[in-house]
Amino acid sequence: MVRTNISSGDFYDMLEAKGFMTQVTSVVEAFEHLLDTDVSGECVEVGPRGGYARRAPAEYLDRESETVMELVHERSRKLHEIKS
């Protein structure tokens, strides 16, 4: 859990007291490390102890959700092509 404005301070304080908060610096460190790799489009989990692990993505909820994601991929693919 990373502290944001989505939840209350009391909730985050409780998580922090139990050692369950993930520091933003850990998220940034994982991101910076990934910039120096060929990893792309992968799920990464950063936890309270620091460090990170690559995770398999979750299954689609249903066929319609999968189709929507295929359409989004098709629409945005041209944004990732190298232009000469």
pLDDT in tens, 50-61: 889 999 888 999
Please state, in angstroms and rounded to a whole number, the distance separating the CA atoms of residues 38 and 80.
Answer: 14
Six-digit token string for 42? 């992968």
Q: Kindly state whether residue 74 falls inside one of the protein's structural domains.
A: yes
Q: Kindly state whether residue 1 falls inside one of the protein's structural domains.
A: no
Q: Is the pTM of this model over 0.85?
A: no
Total structural domains in the chain? Answer: 1
Q: Kindly state whether residue 34 falls inside one of the protein's structural domains.
A: yes
Range of the domain at 23: 9-80
Please state, in angstroms and rounded to a whole number, the distance separating the CA atoms of residues 24 and 17.
Answer: 17
Q: Kindly state whether residue 55 falls inside one of the protein's structural domains.
A: yes
pLDDT at 73 over 90: no
Q: Kindly state whether residue 15 falls inside one of the protein's structural domains.
A: yes
